Amino acid sequence: MNPLVQPDPGLYIWTILTFLLLLPVFNRLAWKPLMAMLRAREESIQKALDDARQAKEELQRLQTESARILAEARVQADTILSQTRQDANRVRDELRQQAQAEAGNVLKNAERQIELETARALQQIRAEAVDISVAIASKILQRNVSREDNQRLIDETFRQIEATPRPN
């Protein structure tokens, strides 16, 4: 049989004794630093987990806050847009009213101008009719009417024409 596989009570005793003697040395030199390193690692992992949880909570809070801010911004944008539309409608109505008022003024001015031009044309026609009448009358009378007589006849004719009713 193989000597390495055979049980030897002396080897057992020396192995256990060596183990018991080296146990405090291993405890002091390897086990305590290993445990301290494992504790430090565990603490760093726990701290990382806590930081991750806090970061997740902060992210959720920020997402909630950003959603609220975005909703407020949308409401403000809708309000501004509505106000802008109302202002545009008001300005459009004011411009329409101004245009209508200006059109009315232009129409009144045109009517007044037409009336003035009509009155002036009638006055010219009357003056020419008087001049023609005086010329015809002077030829009929075979005499030359003086300037004063002419002016007197014109004034009388105007008074008669103004006194006669005119059709509108």
Q: Yes or no: say if 157 and 133 are a contact pair by the CB < 8 Å rule.
A: yes
Residue 85: how many other CB atoms lie within 10 Å: 10
Q: Is residue 156 part of a domain?
A: yes
Question: In percent, how much of the chain has pLDDT > 70?
Answer: 90
pTM for the structure as a whole:
0.41
* Distance between CA atoms of residues 146 and 143, nearest Å: 9
Q: Yes or no: say if 126 and 161 are a contact pair by the CB < 8 Å rule.
A: yes
Coil, helix or strand at residue 168: coil
pLDDT greater at residue 168 or residue 29: 29
pLDDT at 129: 77
Mean pLDDT for 138-165 is 71
Most confident of 17-31, 78-92, 123-137: 78-92
pLDDT at 31: 86
Q: Is the model's pLDDT at 74 over the cut of 90?
A: yes
Task: Work out how many domains the chain is built from and give that number.
Answer: 1
Q: Is residue 4 part of a domain?
A: no
Q: Yes or no: say if 122 and 114 are a contact pair by the CB < 8 Å rule.
A: no
Q: What is the DSSP letter of 7?
A: -
* Distance between CA atoms of residues 75 and 81, nearest Å: 10
Which pLDDT tens digit goes with each residue over 76-117? Answer: 999 999 999 999 999 999 999 999 999 999 999 999 999 999
* Distance between CA atoms of residues 144 and 134, nearest Å: 10
Least confident span in 27-31, 36-40, 162-166: 162-166
Angle (deg, nearest 10), helices 147-163 and 32-141: 120
Q: What is the DSSP string of 21-68?
A: HHHHHHIIIIIHHHHHHHHHHHHHHHHHHHHHHHHHHHHHHHHHHHHH
Which residues neighbour 127 within 8 Å (Cβ) at sequence distance 6 or greater? Answer: 154
Question: In percent, how much of the chain has pLDDT > 90?
Answer: 53
pLDDT at 168: 54
Q: Is residue 123 part of a domain?
A: yes
Q: Is the model's pLDDT at 147 over the cut of 80?
A: no
Where in the sequence is the domain holding 107, given as residue range(s)? 9-163
Quote the Cα angle for 140-145-146, to 5°. 180
Q: Is residue 2 part of a domain?
A: no
CA 118 to chain centre: 53
* Distance between CA atoms of residues 79 and 38, nearest Å: 60
